[in-house]
Structures are given as structure tokens and as C-alpha cells.
Amino acid sequence: MSTEEAAVSTVNNFLKNIIEEDLKNGKHGSVITRFPPEPNGYLHIGHAKSICINFGLARDFGGRCHLRFDDTNPAKEEQEYIDSIMESVKWLGFDWGTHLYYASDNFEQLYQWAVYLIEQGKAYVDDLTAEQIRAYRGTLTEAGTESPFRNRTVAENIDLFARMRSGEFPDGSHVLRAKIDMAAPNINLRDPVLYRILNAPHPHVGDAWKIYPMYDFAHGQTDAIEGITHSICTLEFESHKPLYEWFLDNLPIPVRPRQYEFARLNLTYTVMSKRKLQELVQKGTVSGWDDPRMPTLAGIRRRGYPAASVRTFCELIGVGRSDSWIDVAILEECVRSELNETAPRAMAVLRPVKLIVDNYPVGQVEEFSAANHPQKPEMGSRTLHFSREIWIERDDFMETPSKGFHRLTVGGEVKLRGGYIITCTGVVKDADGVIVELHGTYDPASRDGIHTADGRKVKGVIHWVAVDSAVSAEVRLFDRLFSDPNPDRGGADYSQFLNAASVEIVSDAQLEASLAHSTAETRFQFERLGYFYQDPTDSRQESLVFNRIVTLRDAWVTKK
RNA sequence: AGGGGCGUCGCCAAGCGGUAAGGCACCGGAUUUUGAUUCCGGCAUUCACAGGUUCGAUCCCUGUCGCCCCUGCCA
């Protein structure tokens, strides 16, 4: 399981207060929560919030958290999703130990409870079509009407339900419904469907069943079976709570899990619904569920976000009940602060232009030692090569500098990070006026600081890579998938807000030699550019591919 | 009057009758061989609005306004 330690949280929220109270007054001896995904898609950052809440609460109060697949609808569920979900939860740093469960493991018990309800006269088999059931349900402001099949005898219901189970009827021909109240103001209580016929193989229980319980009939009871004390879900399930409790009240179940709801995570510049994410995948807008631009945990992981930064984010945003939109910038800030501490520094030139140091001896190579982290000597150092020709960033030179620009200009000087101070002496352009190379001279006495021989202080420091030992690589510069902060807003077609520049492939970046044999899992800070991570699926020793995780903050860009 | 929920700084969010925490963002300034990091300082006389109770209300009551969820044989 994961080796990462999720730290105990110290921030307060209403769920903690409830649990603290329940523990203090003896309502519960310990806390048991659960994370109950349906395996019908990949987990996303919104699920991370739920995972952190559920596993976090269990951790903070010395209880436990179950991983439970809410697999009651085989029409949408697949083993691929089950696998990916377990992967993602583990990656996030949480451990369910031996407590892996499937709602489908309880199908026999659930069936018996359904029979019990029938025997009590509290459930009946309905022959109405789906459309008829909808029409009979009424509207938000008008009561529904009772099904003509509502008053079948217990014996008839038992018989019909057994035959539904045995596969005697086609899909959609019958359902089992609870007999509650067709006039209930809460529509969920208007004789909700308990079971439907589905002749579909199930990823976990195979073809054992022809009928499957609905979420409402499975969730609370499964919570009870597992001994869940606090069943935490998102706000949209709040109107289901009376039903959740109705089943617990009307079935011979001794324990009482309690449902609590919190506001789901909304993040700016992305979409979060499984349907939309699936659409992005199916339409080929992104390369897959794990496309590094996706808000899925698989995508975030592939992009290079450290799991710890996602946990920090979930901790930081808190838990409440009001609809909220969190700015992705906060997530990005969590990533930066984690990586600033942990990422070794290196140099890479994304858009190289050659700088020839005319007064440096042809063929000479020097080796400089450079710290892997400016504030952490314990992270060691690596060797940099310097020679007559070096690559520098095209953006770090301006022929006619804008106000405040303090990098290279003709006649100006700049410090090469970890190297010499360089003075630019000339520009060579091709017929189209495009700069093909720069010329300059170096000051041999300037290795140790940013002060020139005559005591002046050089303002600009730029990154560079020696041409001879440089390693060429592909670098993928990812940006936000959408250009609008709320691509979902107003039911508009979110695809119109896709950011056309959400990925830029730089095919010939030049990296410092030390990166050639770097560990694939290491996240680097390419100085002055951002944090980068070898793409886990496409990068090869002989053809490196780096993903940009996130840029560095840039006060210069912000100011401009 | 269908039912349920929510409204505290630009974005989140503590607070639970005793006189507005914190984070992010933003604005200053210092340090810095990353225009990074770090560090200091600033940033709600006010808690959707209007009444009421109280010595005292963001917290209690009433009303108004705004937003979200619910009419799947999805979860």
C-alpha cells in the first residue's frame, strides 16, 4: 500500500464537530466511514475531496474507512473502473486495509429484505411502464396518483418478485416499488422503485442476478451491514435521507448509520461531471481518462501533481454546506508549495537560441557544481558543463528591450545561473530577420556572484545549457483545459469554452546533461520555468518526454 | 406557500449571544546567482436585506430577496 503519510488534520469543520460530539456522549464508540464510488468512470478531484473527508475523519478519530463499490447498476459499470478507482485511492495515500466491499456482495440479503417489505405490505410489484410511472408520479407541485397494481396481494407480489429474479420477464416489464405515499411533498417518497429487471452481466457478481436494487434500496442497508457510523455524501442526496431512514425504520436492522451531507467541489476552468469527462474522452478532445489536462486523479497523477499536494488542497478548502467554486489557482498553489520543498532544481531551455561566447577557448569544457536546491544543501549538488556554445531561452533576449526588462540585450550583461556573467556583443539573423545566434563575451572572474569586476550588480539571471552536452527532449506544456472559469455555466455548451492552447508540444527542448539519467519518478524544477515530470507512459530513456506540472509564479508576467 | 438546503472580504472559510480566526488573491517593503522561494506590513466598525427580542446578535425570532438540489426502471 501507499508509503505516504497523510498528516492528521487540525482544521475544524462541521463533520468533525458532529463526530466529536457523538464520541464524547457515547453515541458511538468509534468512527467507521466509507468511500462509496460507483465503478462507472474514473475518479476526479471532486472525489478526492470525498476521499480525504472520509479517510481523513477515520484517521483523525482513530476509526476506519471502508472502500465500497456501489455497484448496483451493471449497465454502466466495468472492471476497468474498479481497478482504476483502487489505484487512485492508493495513489492519494489512503489505505482501506482489509475493508474492501461491494454493495453487490449484499444482493442476497437485500433481496430477503425486499421480500420482508412485501410481506409487511410495504412493497409491491408494478407492471406500469417507465413512462407511466413517470406520469403517475405527479410533479413538483402536484401529488402523484397510485398505480393500479399497488394493491396486489402479498402472495401475488412474492410470486412475481421471485419470477423477476429468476429471469422470467424481460427488462422493463416489472419493478418492485416501496409502498409509501404518492402524495408526499418529497418526490423520493412517492413509491420509489426498489428493484428493476436488468439482463446484464455484472462486473463483480457475474450473471448471478437478473434484478438489481436501486441506489436508495442498497446504500443505507449496506452502510448498516458494514457498521458505518457516519455515512457522508454530497448535498444532492439530502432529499433522499428520509428514504434512507424509512428503509432503516421498516426493515429488521438493529444499527443506525446516519447520513450527513456536504457541498461537492466545484473547480474553476474545468468540468467535473462524469458524463462530461466521459464525453471529452470519447470525442477525442483529450487523449484519455489520464490525459494530463483532465481533472481525473489519473490525469493529475500523470501530469505530475504530488498526491500530498492534492491532500493539502482538500484540507485547505474545508468542508461546508454552501455551494462553492474553488479557484484552480489554489490547487496550483498547493502543488507549487509542495514541489518547492521537494523538487531538485535543474536547467532546461525550452526554445533554444545559440549563444557563442567568443572569448572562450574553442574546445574547452569546464565543470561547475550546482546546488540541487538553493535553500537545502542536504539535497546535494550536480555537475554543470560550460563550453563556448550554450543554449539560452529565446525569450531571455530582446533586441529592443521593453521597460523593466532585465535579461539579455545587445551590449547588456546577464548572469548565467551558476556560471559566468555574459555580455552580449551581437546578433546574427537570417534573411527573414529571425535571430539565428547570439554572440557575447564572458568575464572569467565572475563565477561566484552577480557583481562585475568594477563592482556593478548584474540584475538579470538566466538559465542555460551547454550545447555539447545538452540532451534534447520533448516537453509538453499543459495549460487549463477551458478558457472560461465556469465552462458549465448556464447549461451552455461547455465545448465552446475549450482552451485551444491547453497543450503545447515543444519537441526540441535542450536539457542539462544530468537529466539524461534522472529517475523517472523525480519531479524537477526547471529553474525559472516551472515544475516538470517525466510522462509515465510516453517517456523513454532514449527519448525523454517531460510534462509541465505547473509554472512558477511570475511577477514579471503578472506585471506586464 | 410543492419539498429540502444555502447566503461571513475578490475566492474559500472559522465563529454557535459578549463585541469578525486563517488560507488563497491583491497591494506595499526587505532578503535573494530562479523577475522563484523566504520574510515583514496592509487588506470586513462588518456578517444578503428589513424589522424584532436582548444590556449586548453574524450567532435567537419574523419577514423579504438571491442562489442551489429534487418530477431516472442513474448514483
Residue A445 sits in the same domain as residue A361: yes
Question: What per-residue confidence (pLDDT) applies to A517?
Answer: 87
Question: Is residue A226's pLDDT more than 70?
Answer: yes
Would residue A341 count as lying in a domain?
no
Q: What is the CA radius of gyration of chain A?
A: 31
* HEC letters along A160-201: HHHHHHHCCCCCCCCEEEECCCCCCCCHHHCCCEEEEECCCC
Q: Is the minimum distance from the CB of A554 to strand B below 7 Å?
A: yes
Q: pLDDT digits over A235-248, tens only?
A: 999 999 999 999 99
Residue A228 sits in the same domain as residue A179: no
The helix/strand/coil state of A401 is coil
Q: Is the minimum distance from the CB of A451 to strand B below 7 Å?
A: no
Question: Is residue A3's pLDDT more than 60?
Answer: no
CATH number at residue A201: 3.90.800.10
Would residue A290 count as lying in a domain?
yes
Q: How far is the CA of A337 from the C1' of B20 (A)?
A: 29
Residue A67 sits in the same domain as residue A82: yes
Contact A439, A425 (CB under 8 A): yes
Q: How far is the CA of A530 from the C1' of B67 (A)?
A: 38
Residue A487 sits in the same domain as residue A451: no
Residue A204 sits in the same domain as residue A224: no
Averaged pLDDT, A199-213: 97
Q: Is the minimum distance from the CB of A182 to strand B below 7 Å?
A: no
The amino acid sitting at A75 is A
Question: What per-residue confidence (pLDDT) applies to A2?
Answer: 34
Would residue A457 count as lying in a domain?
yes
Would residue A142 count as lying in a domain?
yes
Q: Residue A532 sits in which domain range? A: 471-559
Question: What per-residue confidence (pLDDT) applies to A223?
Answer: 98
Question: What per-residue confidence (pLDDT) applies to A490?
Answer: 63
Q: Is the minimum distance from the CB of A318 to strand B below 7 Å?
A: yes
Q: How many residues does chain A have?
A: 560
Q: Is the minimum distance from the CB of A13 to strand B below 7 Å?
A: yes
Strand B bases within 7 angstroms of protein beta carbons: 2-8, 10-16, 22-27, 32-38, 67-75
Residue A375 sits in the same domain as residue A399: yes
The answer to whether the Cα torsion of A42, A45, A49, A55 is positive or negative is positive
Confidence band for A1, pLDDT divided at 50, 70 and 90: very low
Residue A201 sits in the same domain as residue A256: no
The last residue of one of the domains, among A274, A303, A332, is: A332
Residue A458 sits in the same domain as residue A326: no
- Whole-model pTM? 0.95
Q: How far is the CA of A397 from the C1' of B37 (A)?
A: 24
Q: How far is the CA of A322 from the C1' of B67 (A)?
A: 10
Query: Pick the catalytic residue: A59, A165, A177, A274?
Result: A274
Query: What cell does A289 get?
Result: 481518462
Strand (E) or helix (H) holding A349: strand A348-349
Q: Is the minimum distance from the CB of A555 to strand B below 7 Å?
A: yes
The verdict on whether A38 is a catalytic residue reads yes
Compute φ and ψ for A219, nearest 5 degrees: -65, -55
Confidence band for A559, pLDDT divided at 50, 70 and 90: low
End-to-end CA gap in chain A: 47
Residue A211 sits in the same domain as residue A135: yes
CA distance A361 to A82: 62
Strand (E) or helix (H) holding A51: helix A45-60
CA distance A269 to A497: 9
Residue A184 sits in the same domain as residue A308: no
Half-sphere exposure (Cβ direction) of A486: Cα atoms closer than 13 Å: 8
Q: Is the minimum distance from the CB of A461 to strand B below 7 Å?
A: yes
Confidence band for A72, pLDDT divided at 50, 70 and 90: very high
Instruction: Identify the residue whose cell numbers are 516551472.
Output: A530
Query: Pick the catalytic residue: A90, A150, A264, A553?
Result: A264
Question: What per-residue confidence (pLDDT) applies to A9?
Answer: 64
Contact A388, A362 (CB under 8 A): yes
- Percent of chain A scoring above 70 in pLDDT: 97
Q: How far is the CA of A540 from the C1' of B71 (A)?
A: 54
Would residue A339 count as lying in a domain?
no
| ipTM of predicted assembly, 2 dp | 0.94
The last residue of one of the domains, among A197, A215, A233, is: A215
The verdict on whether A274 is a catalytic residue reads yes
Residue A164 sits in the same domain as residue A231: no
* HEC letters along A236-304: HHHHHHHHHHHHHHHCCCCCCCEEEEECCCEECCCCCCHHHHHHHHHCCCCCCCCCCCCCEHHHHHHHC
CA distance A348 to A510: 6
Would residue A512 count as lying in a domain?
yes
**DSSP codes, A487-549:** TTGGG--GGGGB-TTSEEEEEEEEE-GGGGG--TT-EEEETTTEEEEE-TTT-BTTB-EEEEE
Q: How far is the CA of A428 from the C1' of B68 (A)?
A: 61
Q: Give, to the nearest 10 degrees, the angle between helix A45-60 and helix A14-24.
A: 30
Question: Is residue A448's pLDDT more than 90?
Answer: no
Q: What is the mean pLDDT of chain A?
A: 94
CATH number at residue A276: 3.40.50.620
CA distance A462 to A417: 6
Residue A492 sits in the same domain as residue A502: yes
The last residue of one of the domains, among A215, A231, A256, is: A215
Number of domains in chain A: 4
- Strand-strand pairing, A471-478 and A545-551: parallel
CATH number at residue A477: 2.40.240.10
Would residue A340 count as lying in a domain?
no
The verdict on whether A24 is a catalytic residue reads no
Would residue A405 count as lying in a domain?
yes
Q: pLDDT digits over A29-61, tens only?
A: 999 999 999 999 999 999 999 999 999 999 999
